[in-house]
Amino acid sequence: MKSIISIHDVMPETMDRVLKLIEWLEALKVPPSTLLVVPGKDWTEAQIRQLDSLSKKGYTLAAHGWHHKTRPRRIYHRLHSFILSRDVAEHLDLSSTEILKLIQRSKAWFLEHNLPSPDLYVPPAWALGPIRKKELKEAPYQQIETTLGVIQLNSDAQTRFVALPLTGYEADTNFRAFFLSYWNRFQEFKARKSKLPLRISIHPDDLELKIAEQLKTQIEASEQFLKYSDC
């Protein structure tokens, strides 16, 4: 099985846990993966240098929203928050124009801090929100990840969607543990049957949560590790 590994929610307050995850993955012989960085936090210069150091070791930096925090107001957003995203899907409270401005601002942060310019953008909770096709084509990235797969953007402002299976391990309740364990098994089945890479998404606390063993098992079942750019 082929896999794409990403570590989500890389923020000043999660850096210690992210570094432990990186050590854990390296012990499992997983090559440098993709780090989803939340720019709009109170980053120190030392932490920014740490991101740069990880990038130089081969880790790919991707943009991951701006604040990674929101207060749901619309009915759909409230339902999405209750069932899936809690209070992180910041795109869902924005208009199409506001979403474009946010993802442009997110990319600009990396350039302002002399970090590698990200080619991948991942909206928090994979919730891209109500962005129109016109604004989407103006997004300054080569790829945008959603729940169902990856949107490919090219220099001709054309888009192409690549469906890819996805796992998650944020099982902090019994319900989430039950749902995600079955979801993840089904997604692995899809990956094996289609021979497409399985996107294994890891959050900072996953090793302490209820299905950490499944995370380890699915990583160990991976025979080849790819980057998003390989899609």
Residue 69 belongs to a domain with what CATH number?
Answer: 3.20.20.370
Number of domains the chain is built from: 1
Domain that holds residue 56: 2-230
DSSP state of 81: I
pLDDT per residue as tens digits for the range 162-202: 999 999 999 999 998 999 999 999 999 999 999 999 999 99
The pLDDT of residue 70: 60
What's the pLDDT at 171? 93
Could you report the per-residue pLDDT of 56-108, keeping only the tens digit for each? 999 999 999 998 666 656 544 444 444 454 566 788 888 999 999 999 999 99
E strands, 11-126, are 34-37, 60-63, 120-121
Residue range 18-60, pLDDT digits in tens: 999 999 999 999 999 999 999 999 999 999 999 999 999 999 9
